Structure 1
C-alpha cells in the first residue's frame, strides 16, 4: 500500500500523516521497523493510525513507529 509522504519539519526524515482513532493528526515513519506498534489502515478514504498492543505486535514486520518517538527534534513539538 503506497501512501503520500512529506518531509518532517524538524529533521530530514519522510513521514506519512495519518489520523489516530481519536481524531488527532499523527506523523508516522515511512518504513516499518523493529519495535513498531502503529498499523496504517485505510478506512472510508482516510488513513488511520491504529496502535497495536505489544502482545499483538510481536513478530509483525508491517508495523511502523510514530515519528514523535523517532524524531531527534520531537521535544520542540511537545505541548507543555
Structure 2
C-alpha cells in the first residue's frame, strides 16, 4: 500500500458524535461491531482503516479497522500512511455509550 492508496473517509459517511458533536465515521471491528473513529488521522493513533469492497445499493459495508501494534503504527506513519484513533479515546461522554451498548447485549 502506498500513501496515495491511503484510506480517506467518504464525506457522506461522516457524522457527528451524539455526545460531544465531534466529527466521526463508523468502522467495523474484527468482531463485526460498529466503532466510532475520529475523522482526522492522529500521530499517536493505533488503527489502520481499510475500505470495504464496493457493493450495490446505498449503504454498503463499513470500512474495517485493524488495531496496530506500536511498531506497525510507526511503520505506517513512516510510510506516510494515516493512522486513526477510536473516538471513545477522547470523547468526554464515551462511558454513556459503553453503558448503553452493554445493556443492549443483555
TM-score (norm 2): 0.67
Higher strand fraction (1 or 2): 1
1:73: Cα distance to partner?
0.9
Return the match for 1:19 from 28, 52, 56. Answer: 28
Q: Distance in 1 between matches of 2:29 and 2:14?
A: 17
Q: Secondary structure at the match of 2:43?
A: coil
> Where in structure 2 are there 5+ consecutive unaligned residues?
1-7, 55-60
Q: Runs (4+) of structure 1 moved beyond 4 Å?
A: none
What value does the CA root-mean-square deviation take over the aligned residues?
A: 1.6
**Residues 1:65 and 2:81 aligned together:** no
Higher helix fraction (1 or 2): 2
